[in-house]
Amino acid sequence: MKLSKQLTDEAILRELGGRLAGVRLARNLTQAALAEEAGVSKRTVERLESGEVGARLSGLVRVFRALGLADRLDALVPATGPTPIEQLKLAGRQRKRASGRRQPATGVSRKWTWGDGS
């Protein structure tokens, strides 16, 4: 199954868990052996493979590392760099916060006056 934004969170977690189990089985590892190698509990591996939400992200990273898949995490959430214009605006500083979404202009500007109440 291809992962897409139309899938529910649960469906995505189940699919990722199934893929994780497939990699583990292809490497002929038991859940217990993978858990020991990753430094997590067997229950963590079980949760990850079943798609349970209770698994921690750190457990996932450890399992990925034990399976030799840590380098693929970069593709999961690729690093974003500033555009050339943003680089000029930042002048070597690093961006630390988001500005939020701006409301579109309504096109009608009304000047405020005393007693207007708005």
pLDDT, tens digit, for every residue of 5-44?
A: 788 878 888 888 888 889 989 889 999 999 999 999 999 9
Contacts of 62 (CB under 8 A, 6+ apart): 38, 39, 40
Q: Mean pLDDT across the stretch 43-62?
A: 82
Q: In the predicted model, is pLDDT for residue 64 greater than 80?
A: yes
Q: What is the pLDDT of residue 80?
A: 65
Instruction: Give pLDDT, residue 61.
Output: 81
pLDDT of 51 reads 84
State pTM to two decimals.
0.59
pLDDT of amino acid 104: 63
What digits encode the pLDDT tens for the residues 69-92? 888 877 776 666 767 777 777 776
Mean pLDDT of the chain: 79
Q: Which domains does the chain have, with CATH numbers?
A: 9-73 (1.10.260.40)
Cα torsion angle, 18, 69, 44, 42, sign: positive
CB count within 10 Å of CB 107 equals: 5
Does the CA dihedral 75-12-30-42 come out positive or negative? positive
